[in-house]
């Protein structure tokens, strides 16, 4: 909704462009806030559904969201998924500790060492969230005689595992609540632009 400014006033064209850009900026800000609200809602839904999936607890802890602007500038997108530890930041922080520039080093928040069949395994939720979501198909031996991981022998065939559809079901549950977020945020932006 552009603001009409008379061109008879000296410098009014510049002012009109400035007002249009301010208004556009206000609506972009409202759209970003609404997208962020939707991301929060979907994340809450995903975390509620993830309570039933409790192997190590790392997946639920690693779930997070972020709002990103699309490269085309056409809008925003909310991304919900498993966050990753920045191994570079952790390594550099410990180098700074050794150099005496820092008192404490960063620790891995989402990856976890787990005992499984007498072995210690590093569990990283970002690496297996797709398996929780979509499952896995049946695995059959092709070249080797049996499937094994070094300590356990699984046989010549491993059954398929059905996915939980965690993210898709959460989005389906939150989808009816998307429109009200945008309506509320855009009303707030238009009221602020009018000075109400």
Q: What pLDDT, in 10s, does the model give residues 143-193?
A: 877 777 766 777 788 889 898 888 999 989 988 888 888 888 877 887 777
Q: Which spans in 8-56 are helix H?
A: 12-50
Residue 103, in any domain of the structure: no
* pLDDT tens-digit series, residues 49-65: 888 787 777 888 889 99
pTM: 0.74
Predicted confidence (pLDDT) per residue in 9-52, tens digit: 345 455 456 545 557 777 788 888 888 999 999 999 999 988 87
Q: Is residue 1, in this structure, part of any structural domain at all?
A: no
117 domain residue, yes or no? no
Look at residue 71 and give its three-state secondary structure.
coil
Q: CA-CA distance, 189 to 195, in Å (whole number)?
A: 10
Residue 111 lies in a domain: no
Average pLDDT, the chain: 80
Contact partners, residue 170, CB within 8 Å, separation at least 6? 42, 45, 46, 49, 80
Q: How many distinct structural domains can be found in the chain?
A: 1
Domain with 162 in it: 12-84+124-194
Residue 96 belongs to some domain of the structure = no
Q: Quickly count: other Cβ atoms within 10 Å of residue 112's Cβ.
A: 16
């Amino acid at each position: 909704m552009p603001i009409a400014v008379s061109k008879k006033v000296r410098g009014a064209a510049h002012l009109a462009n400035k007002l249009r850009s301010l208004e556009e900026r206000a609506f972009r800000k409202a759209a970003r806030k609404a997208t962020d609200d939707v991301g929060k809602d979907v994340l809450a839904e995903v975390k509620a559904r993830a309570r039933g999936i409790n192997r190590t607890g790392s997946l639920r802890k690693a779930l997070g969201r972020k709002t990103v602007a699309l490269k085309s500038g056409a809008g925003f997108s909310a991304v919900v998924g498993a966050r990753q530890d920045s191994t570079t930041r952790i390594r550099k922080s410990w180098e700074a500790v050794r150099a005496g520039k820092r008192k404490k080093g960063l620790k891995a928040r989402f990856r976890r060492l787990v005992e499984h069949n007498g072995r210690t395994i590093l569990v990283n939720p970002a690496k297996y969230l797709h398996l929780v979501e979509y499952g896995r198909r049946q695995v059959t031996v092709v070249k080797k005689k049996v499937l094994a991981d070094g300590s356990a022998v699984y046989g010549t065939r491993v059954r398929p595992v059905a996915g939980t559809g965690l993210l898709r079901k959460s989005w389906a549950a939150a989808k009816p609540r998307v429109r009200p977020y945008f309506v509320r945020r855009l009303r707030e932006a238009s009221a602020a632009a009018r000075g109400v």
